[in-house]
Amino acid sequence: MPAPTRRSVSYTVLLVGEGTTEQAFLRYIKSLYISRGCGVGVTIRNARGKGPDHVVDYAIRQCRNAAYDRVVVLLDTDLEMSAAVRRRARTKKVQIIGSTPCVEGLLLAILGEHVPATSAECKQRYGGVLPARLMLLEDYSEHFPKNLLDGRRAEVPELGELLGCLSFGGS
């Protein structure tokens, strides 16, 4: 029996989502844009909320356990991040992608819908546009096909930034 072929990963990315919705969206993005054996290894973690300071600190703590070429945090911008944590993120080279005002706002923007100014209004509008909470890959594939994401990445800066992080060294 021949020895198993080892896959080599030449570029590693840690994606940290603020909560379960971000984690599900990041998993969907990974499933579309990262194929096995492509040389990119993507790890996705859920910081379980508690505000932007906690999410960034969580990402920094994850880097103590493994070395990553790129660390990216997807979080809501409805709460202010402290200057100290912002400096720490810059020092540790943690890229912060803010969903304005929340991840539901990002998803509405991708769909080309009006994005309300507050998180509460976004969540309400999101509930009227999409039938249920999107937690499964199948849910995302129905509402956010790859051609939609590719077409909207230039108009939605957060999406463009996120997809850029996954492309062999990204931007």
Q: Which residues contact 44 (CB under 8 A, 6 or more apart)?
A: 15, 16, 17, 23, 26, 27, 30
- Rounded Cα distance, 75 and 53, in Å: 10
pLDDT at 170 over 60: no
Report the alpha-carbon distance of residue 36 to residue 18 in Å, rounded: 26
Q: Is residue 5 part of a domain?
A: no
* pTM across the whole model: 0.90
Residue 3 lies in a domain: no
Mean pLDDT (the chain, rounded): 91
CATH number of 129's domain: 3.40.50
- For the stretch 103-135, pLDDT in tens is 999 999 999 999 999 999 999 998 888 876 778
- Spatial separation of the C-alpha atoms in residues 55 and 53, rounded to whole Å: 6
- Domain containing residue 75: 11-165
Q: Rounded to whole angstroms, how far apart are CA atoms 145 and 132? A: 17
Q: Is residue 171 part of a domain?
A: no
| Residue 2 counted as domain residue | no
What is the domain count for the chain?
Answer: 1
pLDDT digits (tens, 9 = 90+) for 59-78: 999 999 899 999 999 999 99
Confirm whether 170 is domain-assigned.
no
